[in-house]
């Protein structure tokens, strides 16, 4: 009997060739698959296994019927376990606690102001000036983002605030350093928080050629570093900032730190002479150490159209982590204003006068830097 059953199984079985996708009947030449292939097909109905006969259970002695228990009520929000979800009240308490940590005791008012601010931005209900300066965005977003970095990371110390005029046009001239122009951002924050004014920086051409940076710079109050825009702003009573060293200052190697580069052709002095505004020299100590520049890739810089490709002790070796600035101690000192209202506007065309005033501003900043370095001591102390 066993041999006959095996023979019938072999005749009924069909071998499915390799590469047919395993579908029953494919490649066999038959329109209907064999029973063995049907058993292998996904979702095929398999015959129910035979159940073994079980002995009948012995009858148990009858007991008195138990009283039916009343149905249990549904679990309330307070009684729910983690398997049934977090109560809505707990979510609200958690959100209130988070809002209190972020906004403080008056979190409800500040949250309402934030929502109103977002609504106005979405509706386009805000103003910008002729240069694209967005006062509200700068004060409530840019300054708020920079403030913790200045206070907690760089520990800014500010001196000579009395030299910044409370109103009217003035030109702030500063040294430039740090591989990345973070010193300009810290100067803008310092002037806003301590003097109550917006510093309008003059930026290089490259700043306004970058896709995202150009828009942010315009909204933050920057404009192109040209005499026309500078004189227009100064005549309008704005506080204008300029960094005459340009890319030569922020791109110099770490071995030449705090040694001022050439101050260009003195275009900022000509603008101040034509408008009769004071020139305020600013000396910044601390920016040189945030990204110590130890190398450069000139060929790649020329290929990308940028002044330099910085190499620091941590970048590019540590990737994005190498872009975190080092926590150096900063000191900003605003020097005594250099008056220009005693000159006639036509004297701005005198190259010797422009050179002498430019040299005076440069020497003032350089000597102040040396004094501040001796006083500060260690860069990270």
CA distance 247 to 177: 9
Q: What is the pLDDT of residues 253-262, one digit of tens each?
A: 999 999 999 9
CA distance 235 to 222: 16
Name which of 347, 169, 380, 168 is nearest 273 in CA terms: 347
| Whether the Cβ atoms of residue 194 and residue 261 lie closer than 8 Å to each other | no
CA distance 143 to 192: 8
pLDDT of residue 62: 56
Q: What is the pLDDT of residues 175-223, one digit of tens each?
A: 999 889 999 999 999 999 999 999 999 999 889 988 899 999 999 999 9
Would you say residue 61 has pLDDT above 90? no
What are the φ and ψ backbone dihedral angles of 119, each rounded to 5 degrees? -65, -40
Count CB neighbours of 314 within 10 A: 15
Global confidence as pTM:
0.71
CA distance 179 to 366: 19
Count CB neighbours of 149 within 10 A: 16
Q: What is the mean pLDDT of residues 147-153?
A: 95
Q: For residues 300 and 92, which has the higher predicted lDDT (pLDDT)? A: 300
Instruction: Give me the numbers of helices (H) and strands (E) for the chain, helices first please.
Output: 13, 9
| Whether the Cβ atoms of residue 14 and residue 30 lie closer than 8 Å to each other | yes
**CA dihedral of residues 146, 150, 151, 157 (deg, nearest 10):** -140
Hey, where are the domains in the chain?
Answer: 135-290+325-376
| Whether the Cβ atoms of residue 351 and residue 358 lie closer than 8 Å to each other | no
pLDDT of residue 34: 58
pLDDT of residue 9: 47
CATH superfamily of 135-290+325-376: Glycerol-3-phosphate (1)-acyltransferase (3.40.1130.10)
| Whether the Cβ atoms of residue 141 and residue 187 lie closer than 8 Å to each other | no
CA distance 24 to 31: 10
CA distance 325 to 327: 6
């Amino acid at each position: 009997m066993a041999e006959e059953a095996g023979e019938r199984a072999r005749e009924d079985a069909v071998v499915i060739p390799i590469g047919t996708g395993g579908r029953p009947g494919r490649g066999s030449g038959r329109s209907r698959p064999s029973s063995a292939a049907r058993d292998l097909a996904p979702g095929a109905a398999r015959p129910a296994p035979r159940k073994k006969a079980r002995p009948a259970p012995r009858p148990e002695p009858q007991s008195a019927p138990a009283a039916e228990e009343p149905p249990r009520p549904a679990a309330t929000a307070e009684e729910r376990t983690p398997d049934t979800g977090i109560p809505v009240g707990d979510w609200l308490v958690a959100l209130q606690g988070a809002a209190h940590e972020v906004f403080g005791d008056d979190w409800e008012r500040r949250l309402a102001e934030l929502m109103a601010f977002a609504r106005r931005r979405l509706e386009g209900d805000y103003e910008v000036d002729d240069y694209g300066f967005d006062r509200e965005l700068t004060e409530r977003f840019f300054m708020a983002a920079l403030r913790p970095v200045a206070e907690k990371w760089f520990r800014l110390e500010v001196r000579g605030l009395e030299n910044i005029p409370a109103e009217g046009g003035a030109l702030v001239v500063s040294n430039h350093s740090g591989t990345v122009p973070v010193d300009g951002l810290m100067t803008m924050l310092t002037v806003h928080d301590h003097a109550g004014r917006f510093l309008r920086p003059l930026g290089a051409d490259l700043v306004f050629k970058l896709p995202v940076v150009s828009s942010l710079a315009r909204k933050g109050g920057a404009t192109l570093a040209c005499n026309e825009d500078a004189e227009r702003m100064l005549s309008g009573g704005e506080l204008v900032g300029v960094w005459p060293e340009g890319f030569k200052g922020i791109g110099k190697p770490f071995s030449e730190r705090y040694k001022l580069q050439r101050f260009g052709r003195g275009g900022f002095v000509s603008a101040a002479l034509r408008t009769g505004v004071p020139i305020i020299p600013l000396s910044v100590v601390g920016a040189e150490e945030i990204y110590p520049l130890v190398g450069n890739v000139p060929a790649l810089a020329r290929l990308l159209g940028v002044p330099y490709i910085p190499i620091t002790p941590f970048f590019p070796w540590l990737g994005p982590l190498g872009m975190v600035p080092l926590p150096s101690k900063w000191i900003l000192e605003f020097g005594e204003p250099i008056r220009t209202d005693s000159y006639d506007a036509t004297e701005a065309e005198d190259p010797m006068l422009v050179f002498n005033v430019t040299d005076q501003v440069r020497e003032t900043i350089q000597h102040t830097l040396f004094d501040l370095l001796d006083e500060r001591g260690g860069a990270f102390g």
